[in-house]
């Protein structure tokens, strides 16, 4: 549930913003560049950076002019992986799937109505252009999003679609809620989702849900391919079945069950 802004601590929110921007800049950024990107006054930004540096969330170069992410974030990420059974167990399934289809595989989850990508496994055959996705993505125009949401109760699906803007990213993006609901029914029927170029117009993605013991989606596996290199339905079907098998197997190992093909009335 989205909390009211009155509970948000502005300085902490700014610190998270700074970390997020530094996370996308492997070469680091200067104070001036960060100030331009964030809109935070340099004096306030400097105090934020000093505080983050004290706790090893940010590191500065020897000259003190360039900042990048610090080692403590890596430690927290490692602890997250250690504490997450899904993160640990998924590794072999993702590797096998990447080898089978020759493409990059992502593990993701649903968080506050958005897709959050947790892990990437590459195939030696995969192309560099599809090896990176944004850390967060919308649900309405991504295969991952459709796969994660399709098995939720209808009331939850409706709430997500109502609360989150159906943003248009290009001419292919579908924003009609009735069409999106129909697509979710198709996803439930075939047990995987396919989206071609609606979010990133260069990518075709195929995703299937990982279900928990209540047959709710706890995560998803996604295969990403260059859209221009997929020119036949047979390839999509082959990849879809491979993703479906991997997601089903991972669901079972995590104590979950196979998908139940629900009608819209049953899912409510």
pLDDT tens-digit readout, 16-27: 999 989 988 888
Domain segments of the chain as ranges: 5-74, 84-253
pLDDT tens track for 191-216: 999 999 899 888 899 999 998 877 88
* pLDDT for the residue 259: 66
Looking at the predicted structure, is the pLDDT value of residue 87 above 80?
A: no
Q: State the average pLDDT for the chain.
A: 84
Which residue's entry shows tokens 């491979």? 242
At the fourth CATH level, which superfamily is domain 84-253?
GAF domain (3.30.450.40)
- The residue with tokens 């252009």 is 129
CB neighbour class for 147 (10 Å; exposed up to 12, middle 13-18, buried from 19) = buried
User: By the 8 A CB rule, do 109 and 219 touch?
Assistant: yes
Of 1.10.150.310, 1.10.10.10, 1.10.40.30, 3.10.20.90, which CATH number belongs to 5-74? 1.10.10.10
Per residue, what are the HEC states of the chain? Answer: CCCCHHHCCHHHHHHHHHHHHHHCCCCCEEHHHHHHHHCCCHHHHHHHHHHHHHCCCEEECCCCCEEEECHHHHHHHHHHHHHCHHHHHHHHHHHHHHHHHCCEEEEEEEECCEEEEEEEECCCCCCHHHCCCCCEECCCCCHHHHHHHCCCCHHHHHHHHHHCCCCCCCCCCCCCHHHHHHHHHHHHHHCCEEEECCCCCCEEEEEEEEECCCCCEEEEEEEEEEHHHCCCHHHHHHHHHHHHHHHHHHHHHCCCCCCCCCCCCCCC
Contact 105, 120 (CB under 8 A): yes
Tens of pLDDT, residues 129-158: 454 555 788 999 999 999 999 988 888 888
Cα separation, 145 vs 139, in Å, equals 4
**pLDDT band for position 85 (50/70/90)?**
confident
Calculate the CA 7 to chain-centre distance.
Answer: 26
> How far apart, in whole angstroms, are the C-alpha atoms of residue 32 and residue 49?
12
């Amino acid at each position: 549930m989205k909390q009211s802004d009155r509970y948000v601590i502005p300085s902490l929110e700014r610190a998270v913003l700074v970390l997020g921007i530094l996370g996308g800049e492997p070469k680091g950024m200067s104070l001036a560049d960060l100030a331009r990107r964030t809109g935070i006054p340099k004096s306030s930004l400097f105090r934020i950076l000093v505080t983050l540096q004290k706790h090893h969330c940010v590191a500065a170069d020897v000259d003190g002019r360039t900042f990048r992410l610090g080692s403590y974030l890596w430690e927290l990420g490692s602890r997250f992986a250690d504490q997450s059974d899904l993160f640990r167990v998924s590794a072999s399934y993702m590797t096998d799937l990447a080898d089978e289809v020759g493409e990059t595989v992502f593990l993701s989850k649903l968080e506050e109505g958005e897709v959050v990508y947790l892990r990437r496994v590459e195939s030696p055959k995969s192309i560099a252009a599809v090896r990176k996705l944004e850390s967060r993505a919308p649900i309405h125009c991504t295969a991952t999003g459709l796969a994660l949401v399709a098995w939720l109760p209808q009331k939850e699906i409706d709430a997500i679609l109502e609360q989150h803007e159906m943003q248009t990213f290009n001419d292919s993006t579908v924003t009609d809620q009735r069409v999106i609901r129909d697509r979710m029914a198709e996803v439930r029927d075939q047990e995987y989702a396919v989206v071609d170029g609606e979010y990133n117009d260069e990518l075709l993605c195929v995703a299937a849900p990982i279900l928990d013991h209540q047959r709710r989606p706890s995560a998803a596996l996604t295969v990403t391919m260059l859209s221009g290199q997929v020119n036949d339905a047979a390839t999509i079907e082959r990849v879809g079945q491979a993703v479906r098998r991997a997601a089903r197997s991972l669901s079972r190992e995590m104590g979950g069950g196979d998908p139940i093909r629900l009608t819209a009335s049953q899912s409510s």
